[in-house]
Amino acid sequence: MTERTFHLPDVGEGLTEADIVQWKVQTGDTVAVNDVIVEIETAKSLVELPSPYAGTVSALLVEEGQTVDVGTPIISVTAGSPAQESGQQPGAPMTPAPVPAAADDDGQPSASLTGTGPKADAVKRRPRTGRTAPSPVSQPAPSGAAPSPAAPSPAAPSPAPNPGRSLDARTPAVAAAGAAVQDTLSRLIQRVLAKPPVRKAAKDLGINLAEVPATGAGGEVTKQDLISYQAQREAEQKSADTFWAGAQKPRDERIERIPVKGVRRATAKAMVDSAFSAPHVSIFVDVDASRTMEFVKRLKASRDFDGIKVSPLLILAKAVIWAAARNPSVNATWAGDEILVKHFMNLGIAAATPRGLMVPNIKDAQDLSLKELAMALNSLATTARAGKTPPADMSGGTLTITNIGALGIDTGTPIINPGEVAIVAFGTIKQKPWVVDGEVVPRWVTTLGGSFDHRVVDGDLSARFMADVASILEEPALLLD
């Protein structure tokens, strides 16, 4: 038996710590190499860690919710002897071990997680010390070994079972171990008896599938089960006490304490560092975006964009790339004794997620066609909302867009993302009176706000850049030049 300890790795670029969000295994569980054992939250994203070892979980060394440094031991796994690993009794002929079933291509977990299939059968057949019940069938002893006093001789009759005493009641340790295994199997079954779309919908809604009454075949949670459960939950929430009901509690219980960790803590530090290290200057411009709205409408009706979500943000993203090519110094980094002008655009898009503000970026956005950029924006938003943005997509940004207009806000003064020198805030687009050829007419108008690091981008450069962005929103046909 060999006990191996898994230390928290650096899953990003120079990360120093992470929060333990949820253990996917418990002490006594059997794991294989690459089985997911824990979900952690870094300063950039949620990450699922696979097990580098196969064996039995002997100890969870860190509790959920705890923040630990990279290199800290978090779990111990005990690897059994070769005979035990293959499911053989000592001295018995070796037989090939069953091959664990892999996950289906559509993301459906393997049958082993539901308590069926080759892997589950292998787990059930795996011998465990102190858990093997005496068999009424005699087993031949290994050559040269003394007969076991517990095993009856071939001629001896089997003892009559005691109907008043269950197997698990014979030994407290056996009963406890049996209950633990049953609990583990039940938990796994509850977790996986649902199709991938149902599991994704449950995760987006913040619903634990184990709490949803299942009506599907074999105890499967169906889409209708999830809809019914959500409707019931919403009805209960409407009848629940309001937020201010806590005012009747004792004074020391009227304050809710929310730990600052993970993405929120990293964002707070980055914004403070940026606000007090880079001299910000902000400018604003009103834009007649009526032609942009018409262009978006045509794109939505185009066959080439069938099934692709298109919004004015797509045109703004293209406009920022175009304007940065005309004003390269806005796509740069202040490095103290030099300015690093980037000849590539990793376009960051600020995204509000349940875990806080995240700014993933689209790599080499300058090389993407309008359709490819639309697909990249859709993928980025979907992944960010699910909290699955990989750390690599959170680093290396060169210029950022924040779409505050999605919340109905006209404009703002955004803080520059660290390592960059410019950020553009996209306000809401709504109809306003606008003067065209001396007449006041209703037009679709938006306000752009830009913040710049004045060490790199002076007033003239920032004004020219914002004017170029505005010109594309006013006339998207300029992108064809």
Could you read off the pLDDT of 138-190 as tens digits, one per residue? 444 444 444 444 444 444 444 444 444 444 444 555 555 555 555 554 554 44
- Is residue 336 located within the same domain as residue 433? yes
Section 364-387 average pLDDT: 91
Single out the residue in 216, 232, 257 at which a domain terminates: 257
Could you read off the pLDDT of 437-458 as tens digits, one per residue? 999 999 999 999 999 999 999 9
Domain contains 19? no
Single out the residue in 232, 257, 282 at which a domain terminates: 257
- Is residue 207 located within the same domain as residue 311? no
What is the distance between the alpha carbons of residues 113 and 106, in angstroms, rounded to a whole number?
16
Q: What is the pLDDT of residue 433?
A: 95
Domain contains 165? no
- Is residue 218 located within the same domain as residue 359? no
- Is residue 388 located within the same domain as residue 279? yes
- Is residue 376 located within the same domain as residue 405? yes
Structural domain boundaries, residue 249: 201-257
Question: Which residues does the annotation mark as catalytic?
Answer: 454
Domain contains 454? yes
**Number of domains the chain is built from:** 2
- Is residue 290 located within the same domain as residue 416? yes
Q: What is the pLDDT of residue 151?
A: 44
Classify the phi-psi angles of 123: left when phi > 0, otherwise alpha if psi is within -120 to 50, otherwise beta: alpha
Tell me the CA distances in angstroms from 442 to 292, 386, 470, one per residue in order: 15, 38, 18
Q: What is the pLDDT of residue 236?
A: 65
Domain contains 57? no
What is the distance between the alpha carbons of residues 20 and 62, in angstroms, rounded to a whole number?
8
C-beta separation of 57 from 25 below 8 A: yes
CATH number of the domain to which 422 belongs = 3.30.559.10
- Is residue 250 located within the same domain as residue 378? no
Domain contains 333? yes
Entry pTM: 0.53
- Is residue 252 located within the same domain as residue 267? no
- Is residue 312 located within the same domain as residue 238? no
Domain contains 330? yes
Domain contains 370? yes
- Is residue 244 located within the same domain as residue 282? no
- Is residue 228 located within the same domain as residue 352? no
Domain contains 428? yes
Of 450, 411, 210, 141, which Cα lies nearest the Cα of 320?
A: 450
Single out the residue in 242, 257, 272 at which a domain terminates: 257
